[in-house]
Amino acid sequence: MLNNIGLPGLLLIAVVVLVLFGRGKISSLMGEVGKGITSFKKGVNEGTKELEEDAAEVAKDVTPEEKDKV
């Protein structure tokens, strides 16, 4: 269904959205979207860092404990 839109259709949709919402509203909406994307990337990076730290902590001590031999 959306495969037939093309460039003229996209331009018409953009003009209608601009007329309905106005430039200021779209600008603020895109700013919020940008903040959301930035926050998402930060969360993903922190999660990845935490997983790497956990994996490094587990991998630190891989040698078995030696028991005192009598």
Structural domain includes residue 8: no
The Cα 7–Cα 13 span in angstroms is: 10
Structural domain includes residue 4: no
Which residue in this structure is represented by tokens 């200021």? 24
Residue 41, pLDDT > 70, answer: yes
Structural domain includes residue 46: yes
Q: Please, are residues 14 and 6 in contact by the beta-carbon 8 Å criterion?
A: no
Tokens standing for 47?
A: 């999660």
The Cα 3–Cα 17 span in angstroms is: 20
Structural domain includes residue 7: no
Write out the residue range of the structural domain in which residue 28 sits. 23-57
| Count: domains in the chain | 1
- Pick the residue with more confidence: 3 or 8? 8
The Cα 57–Cα 3 span in angstroms is: 50
Structural domain includes residue 41: yes
Structural domain includes residue 51: yes
Residue 69, pLDDT > 70, answer: no
Neighbours of 21 (CB within 10 A): 13
Residue 42, pLDDT > 90, answer: yes
- Residue 70 confidence class, pLDDT cut points 50, 70, 90: low
Q: What is the pTM of this model?
A: 0.53
Structural domain includes residue 12: no
